[in-house]
Structure 1
């Protein structure tokens, strides 16, 4: 710990943020490789819908299974080694593995391995995102940095959605003569191979960049809390799951995972209203694009106008809930539906909730401090994955798709009510605002944590 209270920020922090954001965006891009070209894969590789669906499911399952070991890994290896070896190296090697062979069965196996590594990588990002921000950025830039990472990762879903269907032939738009010809399958395999080669090359380039330069921490911490002692794992978990403010904010964060997953099943929800895949694709791309901008703007404003995290998040959740209710009434045919109203309500409901994810991360860090940032995100992220699995599992239990609208509204309203029930406490920022004092004492809401430093 820096006993002299020397706090400083370095310009290189923006490079660290840039390369980490590119890495997070690349992870999202790899996750979305197969979905946009699903019809082509059936013809080119003779894959089934179940095969393609499991490419995404393996990522979720692998991610959930690796959560218990992630926090000890982060604590043991530190930020640099976790990002370089457990994160980027794992993802880049697995993307290169997919290039070994374009044989349908071999590629299926290597693609599953890559999906599992992608799930592992996504958990590593979840466990290091807030740690990187607090390690490298001062209090007045933390929300901005978090918002940039979240927004850039979200943007990684866009290139596969837009470019891959253009680069790979669509059998549905090809004459039946060619469909029955093996040349179409060969052409699709060749086109897919180019995509995989480019993704592998990008992965290797990112790995080389972080390997050459990605320090564990700056020469001097940027704030008091960057060097403050955190709770150990067991006391930290006890504080997470016993304090009402921690539980309510964490449950709210976990609940929004369900509406965030809605974009993956937008086709099923809106098909009864007469929207085709192209139109739902426009909706998905619009949601991601606008949410990208909202995350950047909201995060920067949150740093400029300090102390309004809960207010902004609650207002956004309220707006999202209203839009979700409107969309539900359209889908349930309570209100007359037209494409304009469906587009506005669907995009609005998702943008308002996705646009405050960066703020939500920072709200959790403020309320839970001095629980380690990585432990907080991993614990509540895991609960969010359970909620998402339940939501997706309902497709095998409930008939039709009308039930989706109740989930969408309910899991937007619940986090709003949970946040309204707690008092916002800026535990971390309050410590950072202590300046020019000798051995100041800060005690958190549970009267368990005392921090002191010497300015002499």
Structure 2
């Protein structure tokens, strides 16, 4: 075998993987065990050469002249459009809670039914989170963001029909079904598109955008003071949902030409090698969740995130009702749990967040507002105490750092 031209070395806790481009054996790679240092040839038919451009398939090199993984400016468009969609989806979710009294009058119903529109989010989240988690791993980001943006757009259009409350329930249900995608995919986008040093920033922006949607909802509520204003607000939100869907439909790439990091490279190869059905994905989710929760730091971070985010989301969902009664006559777990797939941690955390959100909404409708406020403070205090027991260990970042 003649000498290799170029290679990219990937190292994890147990073994090194050298991707090579050989003069005689094109697109082959060798796996070398650290302990025995004995090369082992692995199935050349399914191997992929990311290290150097192949003259036959014109595949681009995974690293530049400086030896670093190549990243692409289009990643910021991918992040921006997802951020916009996530913000819009959460704004749709909380719309009627921010104008609860006005919505009650406009649809001639009671506050319990207005609160139910918000409860649809956590109710539909749990079953559809597994569907989206499987679908993202099976079909990728682009098909799923198209589905999610279409659901948000359809939901916005249906609920904009004036004065028909059953259509509002249907519209909110469409929007709620898209919710699991918004909470599951941020770490996936970060891993597929961003280098290790930008992952935290990317995940933070895409995650915070969903919560920012609640804030936008309260700001927009300032302009909805009459039935006519509420009608035009729903029209405007329906248009925004349609425009975002069209923009994503026109251009939203699935992945960059080459992976931005070693862990992204390994994840891409694992994705190509494994495609399981939806029912099997339920089984895999439970198995991976069990492994995830056996890691103490991951378990604590899951509980902390679920309590604080869930209680906050439930509290904010009925904030208008609280104010009316008083003033007038809602990335770390992924790192510590690596190499468990990032979608597992994100899915588990987001499911529990929605469980706490549902409980908080129900409890908030039964107890005095002052008590609910103190409950939020208590949940935050408990979470701060639990954080003291988290052991920081950025396993995925360390894995990429070894390669660099």
TM range (shorter): 0.7 to 0.9
Residue 96 of structure 1 corresponds to which residue in structure 2? Answer: 157
Deviation, structure 1 residue 151 = 3.3
Shift of the 2–210 alpha-carbon distance from structure 1 to 2, 3 Å rule, reads farther
Residue 217 of structure 1 corresponds to which residue in structure 2? Answer: 255
Shift of the 25–400 alpha-carbon distance from structure 1 to 2, 3 Å rule, reads closer
Deviation, structure 1 residue 145 = 1.4
Structure 1 counterpart SS, 2:95 = coil
1:369 touches 1:428 (CA, 8 Å); kept in 2? Answer: yes
Matched, 1:49 2:111: yes
Shift of the 63–233 alpha-carbon distance from structure 1 to 2, 3 Å rule, reads closer
- Which of 358, 375, 380 is the matching residue for 1:412? 380
Aligned Cα root-mean-square deviation (Å): 2.6
Shift of the 370–276 alpha-carbon distance from structure 1 to 2, 3 Å rule, reads farther
Residue 298 of structure 2 corresponds to which residue in structure 1? Answer: 246
Residue 367 of structure 1 corresponds to which residue in structure 2? Answer: 336
Deviation, structure 1 residue 36 = 2.9
Number of residue pairs aligned between Structure 1 and Structure 2? 327
Determine the C-alpha separation between the residues in 2 that align with 1:50 and 1:111: 14
Matched, 1:81 2:143: yes
Matched, 1:58 2:111: no
Determine the C-alpha separation between the residues in 2 that align with 1:268 and 1:164: 13
Matched, 1:423 2:391: yes
Shift of the 393–433 alpha-carbon distance from structure 1 to 2, 3 Å rule, reads same
Residue 376 of structure 1 corresponds to which residue in structure 2? Answer: 345
Determine the C-alpha separation between the residues in 2 that align with 1:192 and 1:211: 29
Structure 1 counterpart SS, 2:87 = helix
Residue 177 of structure 1 corresponds to which residue in structure 2? Answer: none
Shift of the 133–65 alpha-carbon distance from structure 1 to 2, 3 Å rule, reads same
Deviations 1:214-244 (A, max 9, x none): 1110001111111224796454223112222
Deviation, structure 1 residue 276 = 5.1
Uncovered stretches (5+) of structure 2, i.e. residues with no partner = 1-47, 52-61, 64-68, 272-283
Deviation, structure 1 residue 363 = 0.8
Deviations 1:69-125 (A, max 9, x none): 22112122211101112x1011111211224x42x3xx2122111211222111111
Determine the C-alpha separation between the residues in 1 that align with 2:212 and 2:352: 24
Structure 2 counterpart SS, 1:222 = coil
Shift of the 391–43 alpha-carbon distance from structure 1 to 2, 3 Å rule, reads closer
1:63 touches 1:120 (CA, 8 Å); kept in 2? Answer: yes
Residue 312 of structure 1 corresponds to which residue in structure 2? Answer: none
Deviations 1:357-397 (A, max 9, x none): xxxxx211111111111221111221222223333333466
Deviation, structure 1 residue 147 = 2.1
- Which of 264, 273, 296 is the matching residue for 1:226? 264
2:98 touches 2:320 (CA, 8 Å); kept in 1? Answer: no
Determine the C-alpha separation between the residues in 2 that align with 1:364 and 1:73: 22
- Which of 227, 234, 239 is the matching residue for 1:201? 239
Residue 14 of structure 1 corresponds to which residue in structure 2? Answer: 76
Determine the C-alpha separation between the residues in 2 that align with 1:403 and 1:220: 53
Determine the C-alpha separation between the residues in 2 that align with 1:45 and 1:53: 13
Shift of the 384–155 alpha-carbon distance from structure 1 to 2, 3 Å rule, reads closer
2:310 touches 2:355 (CA, 8 Å); kept in 1? Answer: no
Determine the C-alpha separation between the residues in 1 that align with 2:217 and 2:174: 19
Decide which structure has greater strand share.
2
Structure with the greater relative contact order (CA < 8 A, sep ≥ 6): 1 or 2?
Answer: 1
Residue 257 of structure 1 corresponds to which residue in structure 2? Answer: 309
Deviations 1:163-200 (A, max 9, x none): 3442442xxxxxxxxxxxxxxxxxx2x44332222222
The correspondence of residues 195-344 of structure 1 with structure 2, limited to 5 A, is 195-229=233-267, 233=285, 235-261=287-313, 262-266=315-319, 275=327
Deviation, structure 1 residue 213 = 0.9
- Which of 61, 69, 74 is the matching residue for 2:131? 69
Structure 2 counterpart SS, 1:33 = helix
- Which of 203, 206, 220 is the matching residue for 1:146? 203
Shift of the 56–429 alpha-carbon distance from structure 1 to 2, 3 Å rule, reads same
Tell me whether 29-38 or 376-385 shows the greater mean CA deviation.
29-38
Uncovered stretches (5+) of structure 1, i.e. residues with no partner = 170-187, 278-353, 355-361, 437-456
Shift of the 69–435 alpha-carbon distance from structure 1 to 2, 3 Å rule, reads closer
Residue 325 of structure 1 corresponds to which residue in structure 2? Answer: none
Residue 400 of structure 1 corresponds to which residue in structure 2? Answer: 368
- Which of 94, 103, 106 is the matching residue for 1:32? 94
Determine the C-alpha separation between the residues in 2 that align with 1:88 and 1:109: 22
Determine the C-alpha separation between the residues in 2 that align with 1:245 and 1:155: 27
Determine the C-alpha separation between the residues in 1 that align with 2:192 and 2:236: 33
Deviations 1:311-347 (A, max 9, x none): xxxxxxxxxxxxxxxxxxxxxxxxxxxxxxxxxxxxx
Matched, 1:389 2:358: yes
1:59 touches 1:117 (CA, 8 Å); kept in 2? Answer: no
1:136 touches 1:222 (CA, 8 Å); kept in 2? Answer: yes
